[in-house]
Amino acid sequence: MDGVPPTPLRCFNEFHSAEMFVDDGVETVTSVEQKKVEQSIEEVVSVYKQIHSLPQVCQFLARCQSPTGGFAGGPGQHAHLAPTYAAVNALCIIGTEEAYNVIDREKLLDFLWSVKQPDGSFVMHVGGEVDVSCQNWEGGLSGVPGLEAHGGYTFCGTAALVILGKEHMLDLKALLRWVISRQMRFEGGFQGRCNKLVDGCYSFWQAGLLPLLHRALFKEGTVPLVRAKPARSRDFYHTCYCLSGLSIAQHFGNTDLHHEIILGSEENRLAPTHPVYNICPEKVARALQFFLRLPVPGGNKQPEAEDRQSDPAADNDDASAAGSADQS
Ligand SMILES: [Zn+2]
């Protein structure tokens, strides 16, 4: 994070190898297994050391960019909306001109048009499943009409409408009722759909809706109340979204209460995350400053985009998000 020198990872410590298991020459089934595990950790650490330079991350992501304009999970694979979202966010987090310039905006726009369906929905990749979104009778949004509401679709659909300035098209009160009903009473965490188990990533997908709804309802003259809690995680995806949800909960107050709520000691404080883009707000501001200076690619195809371009002040605290929650 900017300004704060990051604590070096344990695995970069020069004494790290001294932590390896020593069997004093007595080999056992357990010691053999332990050494295998440590060897695999060493491989991971050495790869991490090799790629953990930001220019190399930019070059790698450039290689993940498909000739069709979207980003793929790896070089040579097909472009897909989820890695496209992740790659664009990662490049904005890096925040250098080199990183921004990796994004071929002209071709990226072509890719987005190629996955857009005539009914306004998007498929994740050419020939793939439809993603987002229709508000249904439950109040949340589903992937296609008639399916149950889901936290991931609901966040992405709502955030997209916020970016477009069309959130009033939703039944905001029904949406608020749906999302607060997804917070489980006993566990405190959020479920993704009705009658499902809590899952940490919905700390962001569901709780992240609350600041967006708060703002939309405030515009309408209604002030909602908000409560959110994080849950646990054990992989990078859930670590990211649990922390994002916790950050939203810490840094979002209602109108009478614009102060942070940090449970426990000060060291529990997280950096704020932007409730639409889910990267640090200053990274959003910096990326917007950079991209708003550039012409909108294919502006003649989409006149509304040019209107927005001509008024960069209109939505400086707005942002974009896409992405895809898991199906839990
Ligand atoms: Zn999950």
* Domain residue spans of the chain: 10-52, 132-315
Distance between Cα 192 and ligand 1 center (Å): 8
Tokens 């936290």 map to which residue? Answer: 151
Distance between Cα 219 and ligand 1 center (Å): 31
Distance between Cα 325 and ligand 1 center (Å): 7
CB 124 within 8 A of CB 115: yes
Tokens 């200053």 map to which residue? Answer: 282
CB 122 within 8 A of CB 310: no
Residue 47 CA to residue 56 CA, distance in Å, equals 12
Distance between Cα 17 and ligand 1 center (Å): 34
Distance between Cα 84 and ligand 1 center (Å): 19
What string of pLDDT tens digits covers the 328 residues of the chain? Answer: 444 545 556 676 778 888 888 888 888 888 888 888 788 778 777 777 776 677 888 998 999 999 999 999 888 889 999 999 999 999 998 888 999 999 999 999 999 999 988 887 788 888 877 766 688 899 999 887 888 999 999 999 999 899 888 888 899 999 999 999 999 888 788 999 998 888 989 999 999 999 899 888 888 876 544 333 344 445 778 888 888 988 988 887 644 556 677 777 787 888 899 989 999 999 999 999 999 999 988 765 544 444 444 333 333 333 333 334 454 4
142: three-class secondary structure by DSSP? strand
Name the CATH topology of 132-315: Glycosyltransferase (1.50.10)
DSSP E strand stretches across the chain: 122-123, 130-131, 134-135, 141-142
- CA torsion 153→154→155→160, rounded to 10°? 80
Distance between Cα 302 and ligand 1 center (Å): 35
Distance between Cα 97 and ligand 1 center (Å): 33
Residue type, 211: P
- Which residues, at least 6 apart from 20, have a Cβ–Cβ distance to it below 8 Å? 38
* H or E segment and range at residue 88: helix 81-94
Distance between Cα 328 and ligand 1 center (Å): 6
Distance between Cα 146 and ligand 1 center (Å): 23
72: three-class secondary structure by DSSP? coil
Distance between Cα 168 and ligand 1 center (Å): 28
Q: Residue 37 has which token pair?
A: 């595990």
Distance between Cα 280 and ligand 1 center (Å): 21
CB 142 within 8 A of CB 149: yes
